[in-house]
Each structure stands twice: as structure tokens, then as C-alpha cells.
Amino acid sequence: MGSRAFKDALYGQFARVSKSLGHPRRLELIDLLAQGERPVEALARETGMSVASTSQHLQVLREACLVEARKDGLYVYYRLANPAVFSLLQGVRGVAEAQLADVRRVVDTYLGGRDGMAPVGREELLERARSGEVLVLDVRPAEEYAAGHIAGALSIPISELEARLKELPKRREVVAYCRGPYCVYADEAVKLLRGSGRKARRLHEGFPEWRAAGLPTSTVRRA
């Protein structure tokens, strides 16, 4: 095989991966699956798509070997094929943040004012959590917490937080986290906690970034 034929074949395979990412819904699906395995129906609800459309997008990702599927009764569950898939999403996101001014404009338009929440970095949170200075609060849905969470974190989904405020100490700082840097659950939690007179901040990123960095995580064993 000549040099040209080799390069065409090689870069053709690379293009299979990049082509599969060429739709915003597929990037969102990868972001959701970074939280843990999900059935098609749950992914459809999260993304606001029909089950049929969700399945089609997942099939494209599956053909590029970015996701895997298993069947359990009537349901089909999807998961990321490899941790490197989330790293790929991080790379795309990082390049877009660095090179596209429109990303900053979108963030400022929809998430303006969050800088006042004094976001906490991963290493700072790890140190302060180990010393007992802060309570780490996971405000994602319970099934995502069960699939994986920051070690020692307390689970109170954002939909339940207002009704369960009494479970949180008033004199201990709370650091809330959710799915990632653009997830608003932690923002909502900080606003609610501060409104109740508590000291609260948000983790700068989310659980997938924490896990990708090799920091301590836990799961909930299923019965």
C-alpha cells in the first residue's frame, strides 16, 4: 500500500469519529452518558427529543464505536464505550471555548452573573473536603449519583433541595456540584442555599471532570 493510500485510509477512519460528533444533540448525549448508563427513554426526556430521534443519534455514535448498548427486557441502555470518549468531548469543548467568541457570548447571555458564586476548583475542594471544612452536595438526579459521585458527597437532587434544607447544617459551608461547567443545577442550589442564610459555592466543573482527573469517587451498590 502506497503512502497516499495509507493516509487516505487512516484519516478516513479518524473522520468517522469526527463526523459522528457533527450534531449538537450527539454532543449532548455524550455529555449525559458521562454521568452514567441511561435507557433511550431517559435520554429522550433529557434532550427533549422523541425516542425515535434519540435512537437514531445513538446509532450514529454506536457505529463510530463511541457508545455501547445492552438490552434489559424491553429497554435498551447506552453507555460511553471508553473514558476517552469524554476526553474527546472535553477537547472539543476546550477548543471551542478558546477559539470561538460566540461561546462566551452564549454563556454570558444565559449564565451571566454566576461569577459571584465564587466557583471552587477541584484541588481546593478535595483539600477542604478532606479537612471537613465543607459539605459536598451532589444536586444531580439520584440515579446519576448512584452511578458515580464525588467520594463523601451527600445526594439531594435539585428538585428536592428546598424541601430538604433542614438536612444541611447552617454553619458549615456547602459546595454544590452537578453535571459539568454548563449545568445550571449547582447554580440554582447555591442561590437557594444562600437565600436560606447558608454559605455556599459551586464546583467550577462537574462530576465527569472530577472522575476524569482521577480524584476519589464512589458508587451506590445496587441491591
Active site residues: 178
What are the CA-CA distances from residue 4 to residues 9, 14, 72, 165 (Å)?
Answer: 9, 15, 45, 64
- Of 218, 174, 222, which Cα lies nearest the Cα of 195? 174
Three-state secondary structure call for residue 168: coil
Q: What is the spatial distance between Cα 88 and Cα 94, in angstroms, rounded to a whole number?
A: 10
Total residues belonging to the chain: 223
Of 177, 187, 183, give the one whose Cα is nearest residue 211.
177
**Separation of alpha carbons 28 and 35, rounded Å:** 11
**DSSP symbols for 108-164:** HHHHTTGGGG-PBPHHHHHHHHHTTSEEEEE-S-HHHHHH-EETTPEE--TTTTGGG
**Terminal-residue alpha carbon distance, the chain:** 55
